[in-house]
Amino acid sequence: MSVQPDQTKALCFDLGNTLIEFGPRQIAHQYELLKGALEEMLGPCDGAALKAVRDRQIVAPYSNGYRENDLRECGAELIREIYEVEPEDHQVDALVEARYQAFMDGVEVTGEVLELLRKLQTRYRLALLSNYPCGRSIRDGLAKLGLAEFFACIVVSGEVGFVKPHPRPYELMLEGLGLNADQCVYVGDNWLADVQGAKGVGMRAVLTTQHVPYERFEPKEGDHQPEARIGNLAELEGLFLA
Ligand SMILES: [Mg+2]
């Protein structure tokens, strides 16, 4: 394989479904807490309507020039579409808080991943780049899980305004590391955001299929191919520490 460890100075990671599970179970928990918050404020909530709006919001950035969703606007839209009323600020605040809480309760990291990062850190600088509209959730979640300390640089799409595969968040990560793209390898689970995004800025890419994501993007003709594919994150040890 051509991951070329010799020139590699940094390993850069996606978060959801790469370092931690963030699949149907975590999304269902988020929808449940949103439903509870809405019902407390505005009365019975149609769960199917909520799911329809949220499912559409999750993929909206990918057909909007890769502009990241505005977290408050997502909450306001839920209220408008489900209850057909104009949301008040405090109601939007409550929905932002419900999503934060759902994220914090829903994320877990395994001891194997922490141990793997400890080993990789002895030879490489590590960075994290996540598509998520709420920077506070990612940063507090990383701190809670004991992951934050591993990363020389953390970039969250919600703080950039653009999602991967847009080049901007990748460029900010490279600037944060002070490295060129060809010195970095990106590891992620999402064909479009991670593989196409990283390869598009000149990084090498490893595709992981360990976890089941909530949303999927199928390969298209002419897409970049990753340098490696792994079924379990632990395989990075063989690729980069052998
Ligand atoms: Mg992911």
Distant-in-sequence, close-in-space partners of 120: CB < 8 Å, separation ≥ 6:
11, 126, 236, 237, 240, 241
Distance 193 CA to ligand 1 centre (A): 8
> Peptide bond preceding 44: is omega within 30 degrees of 0, i.e. cis?
no
- Residue 84 confidence (pLDDT): 97
Residue 116 Cα to ligand 1 midpoint, Å, equals 18
- C-alpha of residue 57 to centroid of ligand 1, in Å: 16
Give Cβ neighbours of residue 69 (< 8 Å, ≥ 6 apart).
Answer: 57, 60, 61, 133
The yes-or-no verdict on residue 5 having pLDDT over 80 is: no
CA 1 to ligand 1 centroid distance, Å? 23
At 2 the pLDDT is: 62
Cα–Cα distance, 38 to 30 (Å, whole number): 12
Per-residue pLDDT tens digits for 185-205: 999 999 999 999 999 999 999
1 has a pLDDT exceeding 70:
no
CA 70 – ligand 1 centroid, Å:
19
Q: For residue 166, what are its two tokens?
A: 């847009």
How far away, in angstroms, is 150 Cα from ligand 1 center?
18
Q: What's the chain's average pLDDT?
A: 96
Cα Rg of the chain (Å, integer)? 18
Using the predicted structure, report yes or no on whether residue 133 has a pLDDT greater than 70. Answer: yes
Helix (H, G, I), strand (E, B) or coil at 195: helix
Q: What percent of the chain has pLDDT over 90?
A: 95
- pTM summary value: 0.96
Residue 212 CA to ligand 1 center (angstroms) comes to 10
Biggest CA pair distance of the chain: 60
Q: Which two tokens stand for residue 79?
A: 């209220």
